[in-house]
A and B are shown apart, each in its own frame.
Chain A
Amino acid sequence: MLSLSHVSAGYGGDRVIHDISLNLPMGRSLCIIGPNGCGKTTLLRAIAALIPFDGEISLDGRALSSMKRRDIASRIAVMSQMASVYLPYTVYDTVMLGRYQHMKRTFFGRPADADHASVERCLEKTGLTDIRDRRIDELSGGQLQRVFLAHTLAQEPQLILLDEPTNHLDMKHQVELISYLRDWAGDPGHAVIGVFHDINLAMSLSENVLFMKDGKIVGEGVFEEVATPEFLRELFEMDVVGYMEQSYGRWKALKEGDKNGQGIQEQI
């Protein structure tokens, strides 16, 4: 169980999130949704103890503040928005770096057999085995995001935190990634928390949502119960449902036009 009790955090002297409390049992996923600047990413960074915070965050009863960085990393992994590539490691070496907190410190840093076995498993799960020796600066955005997913899985965490994980991905790869993570979080020992801008994508990960605005939780629970049209209008300061219906209606009209012999592209 992940528990947050009265957590506040920010940058420098400025608080971005205020008095956040929540509980997330293992085997569940949670989507954090809200407008730009509402504190979603800050909350995620606080849960990973990447920034200092007030209040208490604990995982399975152990406070993060009492854990060493390596202990935290063996329980919580962050899959950030596309990390930039500074040096071109191979796919295999990049995934192996995810094993850092499991490895013993040695002068020449040789990984143990267990580390190699874990990396092989992660490459296989993410479909990267065939490109294991490729340099990561030669990969497409979708392949690179899968490398970072494999790196995250190699940490063997209980909790994966996702910050806009599908940026830079086309629709097929977005669906594949979210689908994989949803299945992963179905394991009773795992949990996933994701930050999303796209409500549809968030819904495909989990129906459990937490809405944020101005650094505070303004709604939480099952999406259909919380996200009324009025609630979404107030949150995003626009008619979200009306916009989605309009978009869907336009698509539908184009689709029907297509049936009548006119191509969608042609009409656009």
Chain B
Amino acid sequence: MKTGAKIALTAALCLLVLVMAMCIGSVSIPPGDIAGILANKLFGLPLKERISNINAEILWKIRLPRALMAFIVGGALAASGTVMQSVLRNPLASSYTLGVSSGASLGAGLVMLTGASFSFVGMFTLPLVGFVFGLGTVFLAMGMTARLDRNMENQTIILMGMVLSLFVNAILTLVTALSREHLQQLVFWQMGSFSSKYWIHVAVVAPLLVVCLILLMRYTREMDIMTFGEEQALSAGVELKNIKFLLIAICALMTGTAVAFVGTIGFVDLIAPHVVRRVFGVKHVVVLPVSALFGGAFMALADLVSRTVLAPQELPVGAVTALIGAPFFAYVYFKRRKKAV
């Protein structure tokens, strides 16, 4: 199958997952009603008689923003995982390698502990503080790396990210130990969830993440060259230090935004690039956008499972991504390897 056809198929699967996420739930909405509800909400066309107002409101105010939020966050995490694996030449690198989730968790923990609320951002206090702490941790790791190693070699970056993550996690452990009444709240936040995500959240997160993804698309050629090693990239003319810093900063921005709003959801960022490379080859001009599509669909599906399988109770979406993702990843990865042997 040609690459164009594969991309079209992936896009169709994404659409299918989004439709499923809109239809399935405590109230079942027939797929045929979705177009009518969207036409009513977007263009003011009258609702068909068979479609109830309640269904229209559930779809428009609850399910669609939640599904879109899951799709956008999944896409952003997958795209940033793809970039980090290539920039650091490490198949186990992910969006979280440089400590963004540890930093964001510490920020969120401090907000929960102190009950702080900034009037100018109101309900966004926790995401804002989480975002600042997450991004701060990454930039601290990068700054310390630059001081220790002028060339900012990959192993120094990874080690510094790990050390700083452990250090920040230790502070978080101390904070939670001193404030046990907030322990449950913090643990649930860290597990990640898309519940109570509305259009206001989509409106804040979507533009930022889409702009970041477009910016990343401008550097796909550099990512290709960087996978051959730092010396090869320099020799080929890549301004390695600047571009590496820029790409990591964009990834930190994307991951920090995602974590700040929905908590730490792992696995998607790790597996999406591997699965996509198996099917689409390794050129970043294809792998990056398709990873974003795959990650988005995967996250929307995981969220659908998390809210329906034991309804009305919700499962932590991070656990669902791992439960679905691990066997799927093993199947795709080892099936190809077996073929190659």
A residues near B (Cβ < 8 Å) are: 45, 48, 50-52, 68-70, 72-74, 76-78, 80, 83-84, 86-90, 93-94, 97-98, 100-101, 103, 105, 107-109, 155
Contact = CB atoms under 8 A, between A and B. Distances in A.
B239 interface: yes
B282 A88 contact: yes
A82 B183 CA distance: 52
Contact of B283 (A68, A77, A86, A93): A93
B238 A69 contact: yes
Chain B contact residues (Cβ within 8 angstroms of A): what range?
A: 20 to 34
A88 B336 CA distance: 14
A50 B236 contact: no
B234 A83 contact: no
Nearest to A88: B282
Nearest to B86: A87
A40 to B, nearest CB: 15
A101 B237 contact: yes
A105 B218 contact: yes
Nearest to B220: A109
- If over half of A's interface residues share one DSSP class (helix, strand or loop), that class is named, otherwise mixed; here it is loop
A86 B235 contact: no
> 3 closest Cβ contacts across the A-B interface?
A73-B237, A101-B237, A78-B235
A74 B237 CA distance: 8
Interface string B269-293: 0000000010001110100000000
Interface string B232-252: 101111111000000000000
24 contacts: A50-B231, A68-B239, A69-B238, A69-B239, A72-B237, A73-B235, A74-B237, A78-B231, A87-B227, A87-B282, A89-B224, A89-B283, A93-B224, A93-B283, A94-B228, A98-B236, A100-B221, A100-B236, A100-B237, A101-B237, A105-B218, A107-B214, A107-B218, A155-B237
B276 to A, nearest CB: 12
Nearest to A84: B229
Contact of B89 (A48, A74, A86, A108): A86
B225 interface: yes
A74 B235 CA distance: 9
Nearest to A108: B285
Nearest to B226: A86
B217 interface: yes
Given A87-B277, A89-B224, A97-B225, A50 B234 contact: yes
B337 interface: no
A108 B217 contact: yes
B234 A97 contact: no
Given A69-B239, A80-B235, A87-B277, 8 more contacts: A50-B234, A69-B237, A83-B232, A86-B229, A87-B282, A89-B283, A90-B281, A100-B225
A115 B265 CA distance: 42
Contacts of B240: 69
Nearest to A72: B237
A215 B211 CA distance: 49
Interface string B157-185: 00000000000000000000000000000
Of the listed residues B231, B240, B277, the one surrounded by the most CB atoms of chain A closer than 10 A to its CB is B231
Given A89-B282, A107-B217, A69 B225 contact: no
Nearest to A155: B236
A50 B241 CA distance: 12
A80 B239 CA distance: 19
Contacts of A84: 229
B150 interface: yes
A50 B235 contact: yes
Contacts of B232: 78, 80, 83
Nearest to A137: B340
Contacts of A98: 236
Contacts of A155: 236-237
A77 B231 CA distance: 11
A72 B235 CA distance: 8
Given A73-B236, A87-B86, A87-B277, A97 B224 contact: yes
A70 B225 contact: no
Of the listed residues A45, A51, A86, the one surrounded by the most CB atoms of chain B closer than 10 A to its CB is A86
A74 B238 CA distance: 11
A165 to B, nearest CB: 13
Of the listed residues A73, A74, A87, the one surrounded by the most CB atoms of chain B closer than 10 A to its CB is A87
Contacts of B218: 105, 107
A197 B155 CA distance: 29
A109 B221 contact: yes
A86 B237 contact: no
Contacts of B222: 100
A93 B232 CA distance: 15
A69 B224 contact: no
A70 B237 contact: yes
